[in-house]
Amino acid sequence: MNRESIYGLTFDELAAWLLEYGHKKFRATQVWEWLYRKRVTSFSDMTDVNPDCIQLLADHYVIQTLEEHVKQASADGTVKFLFKLQDGNLIETVLMRHKFGLSVCVTTQVGCNIGCSFCASGLLSKSRDLSSGEIVEQIMNVQLHLDQAGKAERVSHIVVMGIGEPFDNFENLSKFITVVKDHKGLAIGPRHITVSTSGLVPKIMEFADSDMQTNLAISLHAPNNELRTRIMKINRAYPIEKLMQAIDYYLDKTNRRITLEYILLKDVNDQREHALELAELIGDRRQLANVNLIPYNPVDEHSQYQRSTQESIDAFYDTLKKQGVSCSVRLEHGTDIDAACGQLRSKQIKKSAKDETAVDRVASQ
């Protein structure tokens, strides 16, 4: 039976667990510092920790559960990692370089059941949630990659926008955020963490009540129900009216700005009338909402969608601006590698299946 990742414990949980086994609270502080400040990869490297405590940790937990399967580096400094989990499943994690720092996009589920018709992440259905430890370990592995480069760089920002719907794995997401923002460890400020959801209305409200103080992004992608239902099946369960009510609840509860993500699909949702309708939908929320326009990364399996022209992107942006809507166009990263979220994973799984078929064919001859 696989042991769980030590990264799945919050500091308070680690301290309580060690206390239960007769160790003082300061042991938790020692272990925490070795994990997140000194970033050891083996319990035996914790040289000032009591040997009995080391053995206890090793008997119940492991530090590394993710194995680097594929790594792609882009000319712009973006690095996409494909990690293999203990059960053989594959997940993606992406390191991106910005002027404001180094950001990591993490995955929260193996596959996705939301089923957005343009997205590579949903090509393979969800098989399970990631544990909080598996999500934290993505950050730790990227940080170790930076440590090995010897440039004293650190992960400063996190976006929870990888494979899966984060709010469909709410408990483990919450623990992950608690761990990475802990001031004794990675100390990544909550204002440097953004969680994206496709629009799970009850969880948006629960997120508002949780007071995590992180940023929230909503994958909107259409200004009306007819169009949003066509490209995002979640809109059948939570239509735009209910989604906007949840957004209002969040804004009233937190008074924090919200990001509305809008992927531009050629001749589908990128016309001037769509921009005007979007501005009307946002209405008096303008002061606390920003629209993030996203140029589409084409996916072979979704050939019905193409990337909007630069002219259309500029016109959409200009129309929103003239309507007084705060908006930006997402800076692209990794366009020379498998840029779309889930694309690298999907390709690797197909390649493995093809290789296995070829081996079976040879064996049967």
Q: Which residues are catalytic?
A: 92, 341
Cα–Cα dist 140/176, whole Å: 12
Per the CB < 8 A criterion, the answer to whether 262 and 278 are in contact is yes
Q: Which amino acid belongs to residue 303?
A: S
Cα–Cα dist 209/206, whole Å: 5
- SS3 helix, strand, coil % of the chain, rounded to 5? 45, 20, 35
Q: Which two tokens stand for residue 298?
A: 């084409």
Judged by DSSP in three states, 270 sits in coil
Q: Provide the β-strand partners of residue 326.
A: 290
Neighbour order of strands in the sheet with 326-329: 67-73, 79-84, 90-98, 101-105, 155-160, 193-197, 215-219, 258-264, 289-295, 326-329
Per the CB < 8 A criterion, the answer to whether 298 and 305 are in contact is yes
Residue 222: C-alpha distances to residues 20, 198, 226 (Å)? 52, 12, 9
**363 Cα distance to chain centroid:** 41
